[in-house]
Amino acid sequence: MASQQTAEPRAGGALRRAVDGPASEVIGLAARLGLAVVWGWAGMAKISDPAEAAQAVRAYEILPESLVKPVGWGLPFLELALALLLLLGLGTRIVAGISAVLLLTFIAGISSAWARGISIDCGCFGGGGTVDASKTEYAQEILRDTGFLLLAAWLFLRPRTKYSLDAWLAA
């Protein structure tokens, strides 16, 4: 019994050291690059057709019409800027925080559409707008964005990653 009690704290300590040590930087690199790919993909999918991006924003029926175009047209540029900063590893904690806020906004928007019975494609990676009720994928979209939110949370809590300008500038 005593050996079990002493083994558990050591195992937890080893795990904590692994997560806070070099493994943290590797996990952070994977999270940073993964989130960069997501933002880059989303931004590139929308930037070629700003009118379609605005239509996707309009379909949520949340924003006043005066904000639909600025949000729809500006969102791809924000997503691409986040992707670039994450790729470079520059301002990682700030970018992770902005990413988390943006992802929470997306989750709230999707949840709102679902709760109000609006049948839309989220428009997260291009497209968007009204679809047949059988084509909605709200649960999957919320779970996906929650996964991305976990990546952002990791980077916010542990912004130091391998191969980043943050690490290079701190040296």
pLDDT number for residue 17 = 57
pLDDT number for residue 22 = 78
Q: Who wins on pLDDT, 130 or 112? A: 112
* pLDDT tens figures, 32-75: 999 999 999 999 999 999 999 999 999 999 999 999 999 999 99
Rounded-to-integer distance, Cα 154 and Cα 150, Å: 6
pLDDT number for residue 131 = 92
Q: What is the mean pLDDT of residues 11-31?
A: 74
pLDDT number for residue 171 = 76
Closest CA to 171 of 97, 89, 81: 89
Non-local (6+) Cβ contacts of 113 within 8 A are 59, 60, 61, 120, 138
pLDDT number for residue 21 = 73
Number of alpha carbons in the 13 Å side-chain half-sphere of residue 140: 6
* pLDDT tens figures, 106-120: 999 999 999 999 999
User: Structure pTM?
Assistant: 0.86
Domain count, the chain: 1
pLDDT number for residue 18 = 53
Q: Tell me: pLDDT of 170 over 60.
A: yes
pLDDT number for residue 74 = 97
11-38 burial, b at 16+ Cβ within 10 Å, e below that, comes to eeeeeeeeeeeeebbebbbebbbebbeb
Q: What is the mean pLDDT of residues 127-156?
A: 95
Domain span at residue 28?
2-170
pLDDT number for residue 70 = 97
Closest CA to 161 of 13, 25, 9: 25
Q: Tell me: pLDDT of 8 over 50.
A: no
pLDDT number for residue 57 = 97
Q: What is the mean pLDDT of residues 12-18?
A: 55
Beta bridge pairs of residue 129: 121
Beta bridge pairs of residue 126: 124
pLDDT number for residue 12 = 55
Rounded-to-integer distance, Cα 162 and Cα 108, Å: 32
